[in-house]
A = this chain, B = another copy of it.
Amino acid sequence: MKMFGRLSCALPALMILCAASANADTVSDLAAKAKTDSWGYDFLADLTTDIGPRMAGSKAERDAAEWAADRLKKAGFDEVHIEKVKVPYWARGAEEASVVAPRNQPLAVTALGHSVPTQAGGIDAELVLFKSFQALTEAPEGSLKGKIAFIDQRMVRAQNGEGYGVAVRSRVMGPSEAAKRGALALVIRSVGTDNHRVAHTGLTIYAKDAPKIPAASISNPDADLLERMAAKGPVKLHLKLDNKTTDAETYFVVGELKGREHPEQVVLIGGHLDSWELGTGAVDDGAGVAITAGAGKLIAELPQRPKRTVRVVMFGAEEIGGADDAYEALHKQEAGNIVIAGESDFGAGKIYNAEMPAGALNTPFGKQLTAALLPLGVDMLREGSSHGGADIEGLHEKDGVPFMDFGQDGTHYFDIHHTADDTFDKVDAASLAQNIAVWASFAWLAADSDVDFRAPAATSK
């Protein structure tokens, strides 16, 4: 592998890869070390074992934050601390759903995040099936009075996960659209690509101009069942949810490697430490935290710090929403010094492409990153349409912080996303190591460069 970075600079076709051999040596060493260093994988094993589920606002999330801060200190970060902000703590209670007519059949169900509870005895009502979110929005006002609406839209599997954006409308906007039409509750087909009896939870957002109705998802096989039943005649459902929301705090765990020349300039990388509580948050987003903290740990072990500061942030309350704005509000003053930010929040699937800010591809940074990532299997580097991550969107939108993105193989990501199946066994160690190598390469190259990612052309050589 090192051939590309070290030995073949004389070959014309490979000259682009030899832009800066000292940097190339460093990133090559980082990548080699990522392959054999188990710190990130062990972090994830221990996070899911010693802590487990860690819902935003829960005691478990606080325990996780303290546990993770301790890990960062032991890993050699220069400065580690925890920041706190207020969030609602939405606590899942007992949940049950079943078909009660034409025949009793139990359903694998889970409440959507922020859902209000049902009345104590639950709701029993006739189901009205919609093939898609769009179909629900076309139903007349009042047409769902006394009914439970059911959106039966399937998510489409894709390597880049793009089926999610289409399907997730059912979950995020479905409850209020159903409520506006008079529905007592909404049930959706899980926003997921698997066929297991585990329902996918996730955030819903109630509109201000609609009643808040209970909302839940059922597993794909259960949705198949309802589809077959509904094709035969009327179906009646029972749904009982018992959630409650209280005031709480969430936590941002921060570890910094102080820049040797420009400590005030920050390359920010991170994931989110909170998780849905059905699984143990191994893939979403223990993996992203392990990847970015693991990358930081490798940089911490280099003989010298890069010019700029590398900051690893383990965000809180990503799943339940609002964390990006909270982080931005806390850091508005220094946002101009955050030179670039990236978030890993798509599991541990192998990285296959990269997207940097417009103009960055032709800078020394861009050339060195291209050279560094090629031997790691990342051969599509582009620029200009990075879309960041949920936790750093606030910084981007309000303060213009530039984004770095890495595209991961998410073919199977939505099989387990937001389910009880999100457990440690789903993470491939080699793939996690490749992610760590990529993030370490990026963070080190960005932090050791002088590129102004807000205006790369000005710094391009």
Contact = CB atoms under 8 A, between A and B. Distances in A.
Interface of A: 45, 48-53, 102-106, 108, 195-198, 220-221, 224-225, 228-229, 232, 279-280, 419-421, 423-426
25 contacts: A49-B225, A49-B228, A49-B229, A49-B232, A50-B102, A51-B103, A52-B104, A52-B105, A52-B225, A53-B105, A53-B106, A108-B420, A195-B426, A197-B198, A197-B419, A197-B420, A197-B421, A198-B198, A221-B421, A221-B425, A224-B423, A224-B424, A225-B423, A225-B424, A228-B424
- 5 closest Cβ pairs, A-B complex: A197-B420, A221-B423, A52-B105, A49-B228, A195-B425
Nearest to A225: B49
Contacts of A196: 196, 198, 421
Contacts of A220: 425
Contacts of A421: 196-197, 221
A103 to B, nearest CB: 7
A198 to B, nearest CB: 6
State the copy count for this chain: 2
Contacts of A104: 52
Q: Which of A53, A221, A424 gathers the greatest number of chain B CB atoms within 10 Å?
A: A221
A424 B221 contact: yes
Nearest to A221: B423
A279 B197 contact: yes
A52 B108 CA distance: 14
Contacts of A48: 225
A419 B225 CA distance: 16
A22 B51 CA distance: 70
Given A53-B105, A220-B425, A425-B221, A45 B195 contact: no
Contacts of A232: 49-50
Nearest to A195: B425
Nearest to A99: B52
Contacts of A105: 52-53, 280
Given A108-B420, A195-B425, 17 more contacts: A49-B225, A49-B228, A49-B229, A50-B232, A52-B104, A52-B225, A53-B105, A195-B426, A196-B421, A197-B198, A197-B279, A197-B420, A198-B198, A220-B425, A221-B421, A221-B424, A224-B423
Given A49-B232, A108-B420, A229-B49, A224 B425 contact: yes
A80 B424 CA distance: 52
Contacts of A49: 225, 228-229, 232
A410 to B, nearest CB: 19
Contacts of A419: 197
A304 B50 CA distance: 69
Contacts of A197: 198, 279, 419-421, 423
Given A195-B425, A425-B195, A103 B229 contact: no
